[in-house]
């Protein structure tokens, strides 16, 4: 392929909700550039971007895919991303390495919930944005409504560059307001004929053209002066103003498309080529220490990795953007995150599943390398002496948690290794071992995301896994003071066991007064590994128990707190005061006082009005306005507290506090309830008391389990 310098490279990421037509647009762009001779179709499973076996099976994108087009004098790297929010872990890194975001809107549905969520990922990055209204050939398409909704959601920066003369099945003419030309397409699409704007459209086109000129002029004083003097800007001046507007995010140009019928894609690519900012024109990247790294071929060689994949025959493939300098085959770079030195023996660019070898990659370009064993996603690699590290990638938090174990216990080790490899590829997958339930829990963004993980385990790693509902991590505490004693005495001939412990317990909270009526000789406030505190006081007087036995009493108390008396859940936020006891000069030992401390604490706990606590999540649910009633009704059945409702256009945001016990597989239920249009996020808030009836049921169930065991 032709070699391009850093001033002739542009990086575009295709974004949008599921079904908006991103992958079809990517295919059409490659076809228009002459890089493929025949356009693939989703139904035929032969798209360049959706090339994996899983994507062909399911008929939609499950991962980001890198391609490139060559348009006139520019190389345009294109990253196609999944439209499902449950796969947004693929979208975040792609946005980070893009220079321009191409947000594809479905002309049938306008701004959807998925579009809103994509926008939330784009907005903080301050990347330039182009809006492409696709599927204008669909009978239900509505360009004006789609643009109006875009302005409502994204602001006045939404700027119409084109509008369709017809919509629906007759769509074949586009009025271009920059060139003031009408493009007329044949039924099969492709290169259009350029014709004058019809007289019947002159007034509308002139009015919209004037708005476009003013939008271009407002970004530069010189252009504004030109506009005031001449009452107009020429095409080159408008391009300059629009580029500055995109950089400042005061202009989001809107284009018309039917990607399926190849109508409008060539003009869109021409705009990217002529107007959209290139890699070297973008603001310098921020470094972790507050410095800046300009995208320049003259700078030190610095890479940012944004995707890791594993192929059965090839091994690990790492994709990266050259943030500065130049990378040549055979170079060695240092991983700033791990200190590993990596050698780049072979460089290539990706074309879907194909790898095309190259000898060098310049600043701003995107490429890949094989077998970088010490490098993961979001790592910085730099030339020796550069000492640069870029901020990592922030991935979305999981919304679905499931336990995971191998169907065949002999494959547990293989399963764990496979899950770690999947997490290396997709950091939005989380793995954790829950100490108090003894379960390995995997976190994903939803059922679709979990299905991708399950497919990889089965097909790629040949491990059959079983998924289940995690146990709710309840906690136990007390609501009033109580006292108890326990004497442990055991005689078996020779030295026996003897230890007697008297203690008081009471609820603990930060800043509470010291105990009265007792002489405090020692105090420890311990942070418990499962959350909460234990305040342990040595209040022994008269030497009735040696100090050397106090750690054993504490160990007994801690042992019982790990598996509380009610349901076997960890106890928390309790103050224990050991104030009396007895010991034997021969038979007393550590084990005797550990047992006595454990049993005395257990007896006191059951008398202290014990309370089971449950975790509460702070939940945000986004749903179309017309479906809000169904979601609210469902929340009321889940013991939820509705904290408020905020409206943003057609989308309503419900804020609620919901017990974890009521959220098992909620993301799946919500998608079913809202026909896939509702999405939610959640985060831990606090522990709260379990209702009396539910506590009784849980305690009874635990006792039955103990009897059965």
pLDDT band, residue 1 (cuts 50/70/90): low
> Does the pLDDT at position 431 exceed 70?
yes
- Report pLDDT for 676: 74
Q: Residue range 83-102: average pLDDT? A: 94
Q: Residue range 390-411: average pLDDT? A: 92
> Does the pLDDT at position 355 exceed 80?
yes
What is the rounded distance in angstroms from the CA atom of residue 544 to the CA atom of residue 583? 7
What is the rounded distance in angstroms from the CA atom of residue 108 to the CA atom of residue 137? 10
625-631 own/partner pairs: CB under 8 Å, 24+ apart: 625/650, 625/651, 625/652, 627/673, 627/674, 627/675, 627/677, 627/678, 628/652, 628/654, 630/673, 630/674, 631/670, 631/673, 631/674, 631/678
Q: Residue range 403-430: average pLDDT? A: 93
pLDDT in tens, 367-376: 999 989 889 9
For the CA atoms of the chain, what is the radius of gyration?
32
Three-state DSSP class for residue 218: coil
> Does the pLDDT at position 483 exceed 70?
yes
Please name the residues in contact with 248: beta carbons below 8 A apart, sequence gap of 6 or more.
Answer: 219
Q: Residue range 58-86: average pLDDT? A: 90
Q: Residue range 200-214: average pLDDT? A: 95
pLDDT in tens, 595-612: 999 999 999 999 999 999
CA dihedral (26, 27, 28, 34) positive or negative: positive
148, exposed or middle or buried, with CB in 10 Å at 0-12, 13-18, 19+? middle
Q: Residue range 155-162: average pLDDT? A: 95
- Report pLDDT for 498: 94
Whose CA is closest to 213, among 227, 195, 192? 227
For helices 265-274 and 22-32, the axis angle rounded to 10 degrees is: 80
DSSP letter string, 118-162: HHHHHGGGT--EEEEEE-TTSTT--HHHHHHHHHHHH-TTEEESE
pLDDT band, residue 5 (cuts 50/70/90): confident
How many angstroms from the chain centroid is the CA of residue 623? 19
Tell me the whole-structure pTM to 2 decimals: 0.83
244, exposed or middle or buried, with CB in 10 Å at 0-12, 13-18, 19+? middle
Domains and CATH numbers, the chain: 6-281 (3.40.50.300), 285-382 (2.40.30.10), 403-468 (3.30.70.870), 476-608 (3.30.230.10), 612-693 (3.30.70.240)
DSSP letter string, 321-349: EEEESEEETT-EEEETTT--EEE---EEE
Helices (H), 137-264: 143-154, 202-217, 221-230, 235-248
pLDDT in tens, 328-347: 999 999 999 999 999 999 99
What is the rounded distance in angstroms from the CA atom of residue 83 to the CA atom of residue 61? 7
Share of the chain above pLDDT 70, in %: 99
- Looking at 223-227, 269-273, 304-308, which range is the least confident one? 223-227
pLDDT in tens, 532-553: 999 999 999 988 999 999 999 9
Contact 656, 642 (CB under 8 A): yes
pLDDT in tens, 554-584: 999 999 999 999 999 999 999 999 999 999 9
pLDDT band, residue 238 (cuts 50/70/90): very high
Q: Residue range 454-477: average pLDDT? A: 94
pLDDT in tens, 287-308: 999 999 999 999 999 999 999 9
Q: Residue range 423-445: average pLDDT? A: 90
- Report pLDDT for 480: 96
- Looking at 131-135, 469-473, 594-598, which range is the least confident one? 469-473
pLDDT band, residue 41 (cuts 50/70/90): confident
Q: Residue range 338-366: average pLDDT? A: 92
pLDDT in tens, 93-115: 999 999 999 999 999 999 987 88
- Report pLDDT for 648: 67
Contact 451, 442 (CB under 8 A): no
For helices 143-154 and 113-122, the axis angle rounded to 10 degrees is: 40
DSSP H or E stretch at residue 44? none
Please name the residues in contact with 632: beta carbons below 8 A apart, sequence gap of 6 or more.
Answer: 642, 654
> Does the pLDDT at position 55 exceed 90?
no
Q: Residue range 256-262: average pLDDT? A: 95
What is the rounded distance in angstroms from the CA atom of residue 685 to the CA atom of residue 655? 13
What is the rounded distance in angstroms from the CA atom of residue 382 to the CA atom of residue 377? 15
Contact 445, 453 (CB under 8 A): no
* Per-range mean pLDDT, top range of 150-154, 318-322, 699-703: 318-322
Whose CA is closest to 174, among 122, 134, 234? 134
Which residues share a beta bridge with 612? 476
- Report pLDDT for 495: 77
Helices (H), 356-431: 412-425
CA distances from 151 to 18, 128, 505, 648 (A): 21, 16, 61, 12
Q: What mean pLDDT is reported for the chain? A: 92
- Report pLDDT for 168: 93
- Report pLDDT for 649: 64
Helix, strand, coil percentages, rounded to 5, for the chain: 30, 30, 35
pLDDT band, residue 33 (cuts 50/70/90): confident
Whose CA is closest to 28, among 265, 350, 257? 265
> Does the pLDDT at position 353 exceed 90?
no
Q: Residue range 227-255: average pLDDT? A: 92
DSSP letter string, 423-487: HHH-TTSEEEEETTTTEEEEEESSHHHHHHHHHIIIIIS---EEEEPPPP--EEEESS-EEEEEE
Share of the chain above pLDDT 90, in %: 73
């Amino acid at each position: 392929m032709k070699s391009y310098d850093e001033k002739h490279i542009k990086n575009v990421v295709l974004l949008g909700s599921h079904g908006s037509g991103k992958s079809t647009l990517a295919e059409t762009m490659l076809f228009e550039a002459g890089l493929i001779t025949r356009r693939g179709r989703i139904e035929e499973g032969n798209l360049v971007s959706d090339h994996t076996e899983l994507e062909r099976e399911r008929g939609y994108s499950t991962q980001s895919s890198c391609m490139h087009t060559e348009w006139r004098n520019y190389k345009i790297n294109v990253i196609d991303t999944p439209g499902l929010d449950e796969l947004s872990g693929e979208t975040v890194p792609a946005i980070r390495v893009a220079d321009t975001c191409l947000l594809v809107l479905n002309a049938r549905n306008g701004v959807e919930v998925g579009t809103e969520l994509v926008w939330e990922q784009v907005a903080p990055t301050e990347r330039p944005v182009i809006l492409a209204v696709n599927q204008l050939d669909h009978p239900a398409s509505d360009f004006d409504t789609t643009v109006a909704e875009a302005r409502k959601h994204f602001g006045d920066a939404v700027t119409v560059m084109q509008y369709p003369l017809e919509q629906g099945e007759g769509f074949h003419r586009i009025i271009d307001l920059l060139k003031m030309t009408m493009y007329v397409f044949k039924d099969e699409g492709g290169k259009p004929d350029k014709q004058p704007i019809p007289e019947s459209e002159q007034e509308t086109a002139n009015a919209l053209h004037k708005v476009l000129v003013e939008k271009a002029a407002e970004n530069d004083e010189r252009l504004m002066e030109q506009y005031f003097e001449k009452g107009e800007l020429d095409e080159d001046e408008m391009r300059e103003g629009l580029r500055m507007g995109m950089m400042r995010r005061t202009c989001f140009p809107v284009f018309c498309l039917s990607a399926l019928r190849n109508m409008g894609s060539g003009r869109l690519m021409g705009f990217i080529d002529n107007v959209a900012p290139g890699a070297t024109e973008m603001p310098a990247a921020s470094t972790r220490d507050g410095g800046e790294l300009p995208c320049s071929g003259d700078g030190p060689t610095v890479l940012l990795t944004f995707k890791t994949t594993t192929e059965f025959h090839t091994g690990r493939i790492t994709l990266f953007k050259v943030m500065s300098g130049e990378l040549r085959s055979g170079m060695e770079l240092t991983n700033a995150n791990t200190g590993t030195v990596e050698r780049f023996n072979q460089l290539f660019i990706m074309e879907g599943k194909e790898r095309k070898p190259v000898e060098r990659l310049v600043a701003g370009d995107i490429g890949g390398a094989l077998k970088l064993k010490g490098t993961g996603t979001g790592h910085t690699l730099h030339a020796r002496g550069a000492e640069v590290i870029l901020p990592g990638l922030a991935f979305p938090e999981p919304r679905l948690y499931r336990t995971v174990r191998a169907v065949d216990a002999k494959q547990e080790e293989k399963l764990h290794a496979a899950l770690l490899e999947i997490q290396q590829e997709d950091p939005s997958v989380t793995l954790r071992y829950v100490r108090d339930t003894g379960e390995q829990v995997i976190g994903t963004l939803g059922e679709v995301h979990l299905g991708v993980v399950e497919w990889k385990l089965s097909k790629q790693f040949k491990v059959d896994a079983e998924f289940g509902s995690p146990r709710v991590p309840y906690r136990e505490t007390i609501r009033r003071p109580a006292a108890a004693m326990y004497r442990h005495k055991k005689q078996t001939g020779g030295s026996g066991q003897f230890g007697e412990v008297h203690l008081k317990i009471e609820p603990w909270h930060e800043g509470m007064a010291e105990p009265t009526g007792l002489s405090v000789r020692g105090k420890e406030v311990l942070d418990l590994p499962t959350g909460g505190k234990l305040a342990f006081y040595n209040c022994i007087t008269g030497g009735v128990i040696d100090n050397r036995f106090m750690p054993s009493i504490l160990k007994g108390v801690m042992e019982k707190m790990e598996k509380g008396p009610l349901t076997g859940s960890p106890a928390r936020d309790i103050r224990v005061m050991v104030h009396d006891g007895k010991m034997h000069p021969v038979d007393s030992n550590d084990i005797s006082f550990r047992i006595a401390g454990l049993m005395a604490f257990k007896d006191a706990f059951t008398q202290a009005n014990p309370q089971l606590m449950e975790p509460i999540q702070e939940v945000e649910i986004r749903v179309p306005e017309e479906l809000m009633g169904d979601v609210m009704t469902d929340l009321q059945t889940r013991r939820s507290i509705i904290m408020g409702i905020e409206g943003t256009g057609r989308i309503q945001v419900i804020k609620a506090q919901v017990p974890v016990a009521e959220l098992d597989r909620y993301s799946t239920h919500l998608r079913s309830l809202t026909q896939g249009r509702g999405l939610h996020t959640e985060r831990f808030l606090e522990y709260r008391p379990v209702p009396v009836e539910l506590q009784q049921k849980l305690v009874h169930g635990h006792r039955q389990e103990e009897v059965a065991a």
